[in-house]
Structure 1
Amino acid sequence: MDVKDNLQHIMKRIEQSCEKVNRKSTEVKIIGVTKYVSIPRASEALAAGVIHLGENRVEEGLEKREALGDKAIWHFIGNLQSKKVKQMIDQFDYLHSLDRLSLAKEINKRAPHGTSIKCFVQINVSGEESKSGINPSDAIQFVTSLKQFEAIEVVGLMTMAPFVENKEETRPVFRKLKELKDTIEALQLPHAPCHELSMGMSNDYEVAVEEGATFIRIGSSLVGNES
């Protein structure tokens, strides 16, 4: 499996999805999810042109960051325990899983003075008990309440769609997140510009792109699985 070939294939499919809905493919950024692969494989992704890398465990992410440094833009995409914030706070560029006030409070406490942490608020659009995230009906109130934390910048919303054989079944989930993002963005909250949508993975990213995704999180289709 060649990462460069995989990337070209994915980019082609992104372009096709964008053409369907009159979007520019440059609006979509690929996060190479490297949680199941080695540092050399992650380095191969960088060499192929993937500059956004995503990890969902702090320790493994820090190992890769130490090895690869600032060559990548680092995204933390997994559930984050408050006790792990101190380790990751100045090592990752984006957090995709802000889902509770206690976590926001800890981020605010640990963030270097005068800095803001780019966060996606995780929304559980599908309502699955197995998934983390804010209930969509509580999202506006939650995002508004984050104003009290000066180190939090809500750059967008994130969700995970159900894993289903027919990817078309994910469309209502992505559409709902886009509508919610637009509603929050229209509020013009200084702490929550909310321009971005982190949604779509290897099995459903084309639908996510058609519904407005600006970041898609691609693991197995891009770098494979070495675990």
Structure 2
Amino acid sequence: MNIAQNLKEITSELPDSVTLVAVSKTKPESDILEAYESGHRDFGENKVQELVAKKDKLPGDIRWHMIGHLQRNKVKYIADFVSLIHGVDSLRLLKEINKRAGQAERVVDCLLQMHIAEESTKFGLDSDELQEILEDDPKEQFPHVRIRGLMGMATFTDDQKQVKREFEMLKSLFDQYRPGRVDFDILSMGMSGDYEIAIATGSTMVRIGSSIFGARNT
């Protein structure tokens, strides 16, 4: 597995407007270092304990993305360093991030996770909850959070039309709320199996793991 070569090939395919988050969950520090030494800086983890452990052992200029479901009682462990939290799926979690970021004297970038998949197992806000958060100026209510955009995961299916339909739904919401919001500039959708559809639909950030690092370790 040539991680640097995989990264180079994928990056060369991506438009300049799309950020690649290399999903390094379950992978050893040596794999992340190989990607880092090829010039990559954005890495995604889905478990807080693993993220903190890797952060302490790897270069300080890595931009760490929390891409998994985040429990409120775990926010305090990452609030002082995390670069972007992708999965803000409730108002209660947003309030906790604002609280912990304030204690760390930071403003933490976040994405609001929308439930777009037909699978009931996916986390996320519905359109009414999104409106509740964004209808007033979030900066006043959450001064230590910067809402950068939306994130969503499509249904895990071979039906590309369904995946495209779900991504289009998310892009429509993004376009609806983006006008007038200077910082609202990230649409995170697309993983190893569907990132090409996501980019064609308007994604600005993709989360790719197995195509870079190989099959996930269990």
Return the TM-score normalized by structure 2.
0.91
Kindly indicate whether residue 203 of structure 2 is the aligned counterpart of residue 210 of structure 1.
Answer: no
Contact 1:156–1:196 at 8 Å: present in 2 too?
yes
Poorly superposed stretches of 4+, deviation over 4 Å:
none
- Per-residue CA deviations over 1:187-223 (Å, capped at 9, x if unaligned) read x247xx3211010000000011111111100011111
Match of 1:178 in 2: 171
Q: For residues 5 and 111 of structure 2, what CA distance do their matches in structure 1 show?
A: 30
1:47 to 37, 48, 56: 37
Q: For residues 60 and 163 of structure 1, what CA distance do their matches in structure 2 show?
A: 25
Question: How many residues were matched structurally?
Answer: 214
Match of 1:126 in 2: 117
| 1:137 Cα deviation after fit | 4.2
The structure whose residues are more often helix, as a share, is 1
- Written as runs of structure 1 = structure 2, the 5 A alignment for 1:82-101 is 82-101=72-91
Q: For residues 13 and 110 of structure 1, what CA distance do their matches in structure 2 show?
A: 38
| 1:60 Cα deviation after fit | 0.4
Kindly indicate whether residue 57 of structure 2 is the aligned counterpart of residue 67 of structure 1.
Answer: yes
Return the TM-score normalized by structure 1.
0.88
Q: Cα distance 1:44–1:122, how it changes in 2: closer, same or farther (>3 A)?
A: same
Identity of aligned residues (%): 35
Q: Secondary structure at the match of 1:69?
A: coil
Quick check: 142-151 or 169-178, which moved more? 142-151
| 1:87 Cα deviation after fit | 0.6
| 1:85 Cα deviation after fit | 0.8
Quick check: 146-155 or 79-88, which moved more? 146-155
| AA matched with 1:120 | L
Q: For residues 160 and 208 of structure 2, what CA distance do their matches in structure 1 show?
A: 15
| 1:39 Cα deviation after fit | 0.8
2:162 to 154, 160, 169: 169
Pairwise CA RMSD: 1.7
| AA matched with 1:96 | H
Alignment gaps of 5+ in structure 2: none
Q: Cα distance 1:7–1:166, how it changes in 2: closer, same or farther (>3 A)?
A: farther
| 1:166 Cα deviation after fit | 3.7
